[in-house]
Amino acid sequence: MTSTLKDQAVTICRHSDLIPNSGICADVTGQQVALFYLPNESPCVYAIGNWDPIGKANVLSRGIVGDIGGRLIVASPLYKQHFDLVTGECLDNSDISVPVYAVELVADHVLLKQ
Amino acid sequence: MPKVNVIVVGNGMVGHHYVEQLTASAVDAHITVIGGETRPAYDRVHLSEYFAGRAPEDLALTTREHYREIGVDAHFGDMVARIDRDNKKVITENGQEYCYDKLVLATGSYPFVPPVKGNDLPPCVVYRTIDDLGMIQVQANNGKVGVVVGGGLLGLEAANAVQNLGLETHVVEFAPGLMGVQLDAGGSGMLRRKIEALGVKVHTSKATQVIEENSDGEGRVVMRFADGGSLATDMIVFSAGIRPYDQLARDCGLTVGDRGGIEIDYHCKTSDSDIFAIGECALFGGRIYGLVAPGYRMAEAAVSQLGSDKVSFQGADMSTKLKLLGVDVGSIGDAHGKAEGSIAYTFSDERVDVYKRLIVSADGKKLLGAVLVGDCSEYDTLLQYFLNGIDLPADPETLILPTNVGGAPALGAAALPMTATICSCHNVSKGDIVNAMDAGSCSLGEVKSATAASSGCGGCAALLKNIVDDEMAARGLEVNKAMCEHFNYTRQEMFHIIKVETIKSFDELLEKHGTGRGCDICKPTAGSILASLWNDYVLDDKHVGLQDTNDTFLANMQKNGTYSVVPRIAGGEITPDKLIVLGQVAKKYKLYTKITGGQRIDLFGARVQHLPAIWQELIEAGFETGHAYGKALRTVKSCVGSTWCRYGVQDSVAMALYVENRYKGLRSPHKLKSGVSGCTRECAEAQSKDFGIIATENGWNLYVGGNGGMKPRHAELFATDLDDETLIKYIDRFLMFYVRTADRLQRTSVWMGNLEGGLDYLKQVVIEDSLGICDDLESQMNAVVGSYQCEWKTTIENPEKLKRFRQFVNSEAEDRDIIFVEERGQPRPATEEERQQILATPA
């Protein structure tokens, strides 16, 4: 197993837990993390905070993913603001952002840096 | 501010309009209505339709119940006997007294009966109220001949009524021509030719001297004229003009005109500033306005005086367009060419009996007036030239010449000033339309619902469309039809692509016809189309990423990230056992319960990880999904119908169950609702639905294109007295045509508004199969119906899919940010403040 995150990372779930072109949520020591699996992209997994700072609920993992102007995004299922999966920035309001986490799919393991 | 006490005397069309405007305004008023007739306001303009089969209730503009509901204290069949201005009260003939802060006289007018000996004989009647129509009917019974005295607008309306009763109809006019006020001699002559061709006998320049009982020969009475002639008849209807009901005002010392009418100022105030007069009893600038539209404008001006945003009544244009005895007649402005130096252009064609005349200013630049008989197609354009002072083309005659000899096309929308009135029924100007488009309405349908333009008589539909198209072009909105940056297509185009190429997945669609990766606009749209066409399970691997969260979790996300659950209760019918199960499930999972407007029960506050267990229990009890989360058929509301109700004429519950079970799960551009009422009392409110069904003695009436919500709209009558089979066939076609051609998130009403040709076109497509697609529409619907599955049943039977219904992929913990508090014995989401407090409190 080779990984750039290997030393600091933990396995939070298996490849088979991921849902293609959609999101799931993981509990990482009390933090809710939204994990997105985009099999046609490289890299193919992305992790951001699950808390929607505008809708004020833990829902981002349940949004629709896609791209806006080439930037990979998830649309909040509450009020439809778009968050960049790579930077965490809110495209509709640049003052707002969500945390992003380093994540990697290595063999069957989804590794997240804490 | 305390409530202002307003008394409205008279409940005709204008008095009623005043009440409607006042209740809709911000003024806090207590309204008392005193109406002399025994029935609430009705449509006097269409009175003659009474004899063409319209019942009095069809003419009604309101009901006692409605007034009660909106808090109006209404008394009918009692007249105000006097006004006590010193004590600010009115006293009725029945001895009732009512105090006012503001008094509104909307007493209207009465028919003028020429002072001729014998005018009080039994066959002599007037034409003004529904009760008068009853009298006319009585006199017409066993009679053969009817005479109308008066050849003006009202007289010809009355002649229409007499002819509808099957009597030999005569019109006797004192003046040399018909409609002398509105038409010049040429137009009047043409109108005479046309109505004589319809069998009405016209006698002009006839002064009646006496009416006598007829002792011999045909006819109950005989009219003797000044020129020595006579006319025997069974009935005489006086309809020779109106006189204002101003006696109340005279008696209490208000200023009235020399020839009658209560004098009012720009604010519609009489000489007593606490008393207003509006409509045909009022005299403004020396003139009585005998049309309903100016009366409405007076009512609006009078209402505005009680609020902060005051508008004034500045007089009104008396131009009219109407159908008299089936003949189109139009009159604009100075029809007689009285203005000094004015020039007239006349076109007359006696082969087809058409007469047109323009009156133009001396310099040839402005339109001063016009007369149209037999063909009113240029009326709208000419009226715009007249009202807005638009410069005429160099050859004004082209405006009335037939187009085959070089007549001018209709006035371009861009040429109209912002003040131009486009829809006179709802008083919508071009400026209002442009403002609506500035505020975001960007299609014909949206403009219609934002401004109400073209929702009255519909006469302005073509002009409205021109303005909307023109404005779109002016904004450079070559109407960018692209759905989003990934697809350069409308929903309709995407539908066709998917259907024609039998595309089965979003990836395939994107690869062949799109760019990028898709987004929250195009993905759900494609998901909906794929479901409409192929009806695959929406959580299938290749579709799951396309669905909005509500579709993904088959429930409706609420503000705190929990979901609500709505099982289907078809037609609103539910057994006691099922009700008990709903209660038990709600109790077990601590759900807030509420009855919905669609006769179902909504269970709120379900955590995502509880959804499968909740549904397991519901499905075991026989429930299935209600699709409340989808853009799909929601509910079919019903009344109990003929099974229980004393008035029901058909089994509305059985029909609602059938309809709901047939179309449940049909994915569509927007949500769909329906209703079935068992009789015309319409308890299921079917006319507020996308498609509504109302029972008749002979079957079902189908209505389409209604909705509630932010911009409520009544559905329009689509077809009548259908048998069960035809009804379902039409609904199949209607729904599938909508699914195929509507835009994303476009409800049926807006979709219909945007269809060129509107309701008539839709009828051609669905009823007459003008496009030859009905077989296809039906077979596609049958395929969808045949492949129905309860998505929840499929989901709980599939462990792989159930994995998704977890809060965390890696723990069994709950979402600690979801916090409920109790209110009225049920849970509700904590407010942000409450949540912070609770989180800060150590456990």
Residue-wise pLDDT for B652-693, tens only, equals: 999 999 999 999 989 898 999 999 999 988 999 999 999 999
Residues of B within 8 A of A77 (CB-CB) are 548-550, 557
The tally of CA atoms less than 13 A away on the side-chain side of residue B235 is: 30
Residues of A within 8 A of B508 (CB-CB) are none
Residue of A12, A41, A66 lying closest to B810 (CB–CB): A12
DSSP state for residue B287 in the 8-state scheme: B
Q: Is residue B710 predicted with pLDDT exceeding 80?
A: no
Report the range of poorest mean pLDDT among B30-34, B62-66, B185-189, B460-464. Answer: B460-464
Confidence class of residue B411 from pLDDT cuts 50, 70 and 90? low
Most confident of B461-470, B642-651, B793-802: B642-651
Task: Establish whether this prediction's ipTM goes over 0.95.
Answer: no
Contact A12 B809 (CB under 8 A): yes
As a whole number, mean pLDDT of residues B114-124 equals 90
Contact B557 A67 (CB under 8 A): no
Chain B residues touching chain A at CB-CB below 8 Å: 485-486, 516-520, 522-524, 541, 544-550, 552-553, 557, 559-561, 608, 803-804, 806-811, 813, 815, 817-818, 832
Q: Is residue A27 within 8 Å of A18, Cβ to Cβ?
A: no
Contact A27 B810 (CB under 8 A): yes
Which pLDDT belongs to residue B408? 47
Domain extents in chain A: 9-108
As a whole number, mean pLDDT of residues A91-106 equals 92
Q: Is residue B326 predicted with pLDDT exceeding 90?
A: no
Sign of CA dihedral B107, B112, B117, B118: negative
Q: Is residue A97 predicted with pLDDT exceeding 50?
A: yes
Q: Is residue B409 predicted with pLDDT exceeding 60?
A: no
Report the range of poorest mean pLDDT among A62-76, A95-109, B472-486, B726-740. Answer: B472-486
Residues of A within 8 A of B808 (CB-CB) are 25-27, 32
Residues B9, B91, single domain; the answer is yes
Residues B502, B439, single domain; the answer is no
B189 domain residue, yes or no? yes
Most confident of B207-216, B525-534, B714-723: B714-723
Which pLDDT belongs to residue B843? 63
- Show which of B304, B327, B348 is a domain's final residue: B304
Residues of A within 8 A of B546 (CB-CB) are 64
B793 domain residue, yes or no? no
B709 domain residue, yes or no? yes
Give the position of tokens 């609506």.
Answer: B436
Contact A64 B832 (CB under 8 A): no
Residues of B within 8 A of A65 (CB-CB) are 517, 545
User: A–B: how many Cβ contacts below 8 A?
Assistant: 102
Angstrom CA distances, B799 to A25, B234, B466, B624, stand at 18, 87, 57, 19
Which pLDDT belongs to residue B481? 65
The residue among B322, B743, B818 whose CA lies nearest residue A25 is: B818
B58 domain residue, yes or no? yes
Confidence class of residue B412 from pLDDT cuts 50, 70 and 90? low
Confidence class of residue A57 from pLDDT cuts 50, 70 and 90? very high
- State how far the Cα of B335 lies from the Cα of B319, in Å rounded to an integer: 9
Residue B190, SS3? helix
Residues B266, B183, single domain; the answer is no
Domain harbouring B155, CATH code: 3.50.50.60
Rounded to a whole number of angstroms, the distance from the CA of B739 to the nearest CA of chain A is: 23
Angstrom CA distances, B662 to A9, B655, B657, B781, stand at 53, 10, 8, 9
Burial B800-811 (b: 16+ CB within 10 A, else e): ebeebbbbbbbe
- Show which of B211, B240, B269 is a domain's final residue: B240
B760 domain residue, yes or no? yes
B498 domain residue, yes or no? yes
Q: Is residue B353 predicted with pLDDT exceeding 50?
A: yes
Q: Is residue A61 predicted with pLDDT exceeding 80?
A: yes
B399 domain residue, yes or no? no
The number of beta carbons lying within 10 Å of the beta carbon of residue B462 is 12
Q: Which of B520, B558, B562, B832 to probe by mutation at the A interface, max A CB count within 10 Å?
A: B520
Residues of A within 8 A of B809 (CB-CB) are 12-13, 17, 24-26, 35
As a whole number, mean pLDDT of residues B500-515 equals 91
The residue among B594, B586, B600, B684 whose CA lies nearest residue B634 is: B600
The residue among B66, B100, B68 whose CA lies nearest residue B83 is: B100
Residues of B within 8 A of A39 (CB-CB) are none
Contact A64 B548 (CB under 8 A): yes
Q: Which long-range contacts (CB under 8 A, 24 or more apart) does B613-618 make?
A: B613/B589, B614/B565, B614/B585, B614/B589, B615/B554, B615/B565, B615/B792, B615/B795, B615/B796, B616/B796, B617/B581, B617/B584, B617/B585, B617/B588, B618/B565, B618/B567, B618/B581, B618/B582, B618/B585, B618/B792
**B667 dihedral zone (left: phi>0; alpha: psi -120 to 50; beta):** beta
The residue among B826, B788, B566 whose CA lies nearest residue B661 is: B788
Two tokens at B827? 């849970």
Q: Is residue B15 within 8 Å of B41, Cβ to Cβ?
A: yes
Chain A residues touching chain B at CB-CB below 8 Å: 12-13, 17, 19-22, 24-27, 32, 35, 38, 40-41, 51, 55-59, 62-70, 72-73, 75, 77-78, 80, 82
- Show which of B547, B567, B590 is a domain's final residue: B547
Residue of A13, A62, A72 lying closest to B549 (CB–CB): A62
The chain A residue lying nearest B819, using CA atoms, is A57
The number of beta carbons lying within 10 Å of the beta carbon of residue B593 is 16
The number of beta carbons lying within 10 Å of the beta carbon of residue B627 is 25
Residues B731, B639, single domain; the answer is yes
Contact A66 B523 (CB under 8 A): yes
Residues contacting B837, CB < 8 A, separation 6+ = none
Residues B643, B599, single domain; the answer is no
- Which pTM was predicted? 0.56
Strand B563-565 relative to strand B556-557, pairing: antiparallel
Residues of A within 8 A of B524 (CB-CB) are 64
Confidence class of residue B439 from pLDDT cuts 50, 70 and 90? confident
- State how far the Cα of B593 lies from the Cα of B581, in Å rounded to an integer: 13
Contact A64 B524 (CB under 8 A): yes
Residues B541, B593, single domain; the answer is no
3-state helix vs strand vs coil in chain A, percent to 5: 5, 50, 45
Residue of A32, A51, A68 lying closest to B519 (CB–CB): A68
Sign of CA dihedral B258, B259, B265, B268: positive
Which pLDDT belongs to residue B410? 53
B182 domain residue, yes or no? yes
The residue among B732, B659, B664, B737 whose CA lies nearest residue B694 is: B659
- The hierarchical CATH code for the domain A9-108 is 2.102.10.10
Report the range of poorest mean pLDDT among B151-155, B168-172, B433-437, B480-484. Answer: B480-484
Q: Is residue A43 predicted with pLDDT exceeding 90?
A: yes
- State how far the Cα of B205 lies from the Cα of B201, in Å rounded to an integer: 14
Report percent pLDDT > 70 for chain B: 97
Contact B809 A82 (CB under 8 A): no
Residues B692, B564, single domain; the answer is no
Residues B508, B596, single domain; the answer is no
Residues of B within 8 A of A19 (CB-CB) are 544-545, 804
Which pLDDT belongs to residue B458? 59
Confidence class of residue B101 from pLDDT cuts 50, 70 and 90? very high
Is there a cis peptide before residue B294, judged by omega within 30 degrees of 0? no
Residue B513, SS3? helix
Contact B560 A57 (CB under 8 A): yes
Residue of B519, B553, B810 lying closest to A13 (CB–CB): B810
The residue among B398, B385, B400 whose CA lies nearest residue B333 is: B385
DSSP state for residue B59 in the 8-state scheme: H
Residues B503, B648, single domain; the answer is no
Confidence class of residue A1 from pLDDT cuts 50, 70 and 90? very low
Report the range of poorest mean pLDDT among A15-24, B137-146, B518-527. Answer: B137-146
Alpha carbon distance, N-terminus to C-terminus of chain B: 50
Residue A74, SS3? strand
Report the range of poorest mean pLDDT among A52-56, B347-351, B518-522, B558-562. Answer: B347-351
Contact B809 A24 (CB under 8 A): yes
Contact B485 A68 (CB under 8 A): yes
Alpha-helical segments (H) within B667-772 = 724-741, 748-754, 758-766
The residue among B225, B177, B162, B171 whose CA lies nearest residue B196 is: B171
Domain harbouring B608, CATH code: 3.90.480.10
Contact B808 A73 (CB under 8 A): no
Q: Is residue B470 predicted with pLDDT exceeding 60?
A: yes
Q: Which of B507, B510, B549, B833 to probe by mutation at the A interface, max A CB count within 10 Å?
A: B549
Contact A68 B810 (CB under 8 A): no
Query: Residue A43: exposed, middle, or buried by beta-carbon count in 10 A (0-12, 13-18, 19+)?
Result: exposed
- Residue type at position B827: P
- State how far the Cα of B442 lies from the Cα of B753, in Å rounded to an integer: 13
Residues B129, B226, single domain; the answer is yes
* Rg (alpha carbons) of chain B, rounded to whole number: 32
Which pLDDT belongs to residue B839? 83
Q: C-alpha angle A107/A111/A112, rounded to 5°?
A: 165
The chain B residue lying nearest A64, using CA atoms, is B520
**pLDDT tens across B189-237, in order?**
999 999 998 899 999 999 999 999 887 777 889 999 999 999 999 999 9
Alpha-helical segments (H) within B92-222 = 130-140, 153-164, 185-197
Higher per-residue pLDDT: B758 or B359: B359
- State how far the Cα of B704 lies from the Cα of B752, in Å rounded to an integer: 9
Domain count, chain B: 6
Residues contacting B785, CB < 8 A, separation 6+ = B662, B663
Residue of B518, B544, B557 lying closest to A66 (CB–CB): B518
When the pLDDT of each residue in chain B is averaged and rounded to a whole number, the result is: 89
Residue B638, SS3? strand
As a whole number, mean pLDDT of residues A15-38 equals 93
Residues B606, B557, single domain; the answer is yes
Which pLDDT belongs to residue B403? 61
Residues B222, B98, single domain; the answer is no
**pLDDT tens across B620-662, in order?**
999 999 999 988 999 999 999 999 999 899 999 999 999 999 9
Which pLDDT belongs to residue A7? 57
Q: Which domain holds residue B516?
A: 491-547
Q: Which helix (H) or strand (E) element contains residue B435?
A: helix B430-438
Contact B809 A13 (CB under 8 A): yes
Contact A51 B817 (CB under 8 A): yes
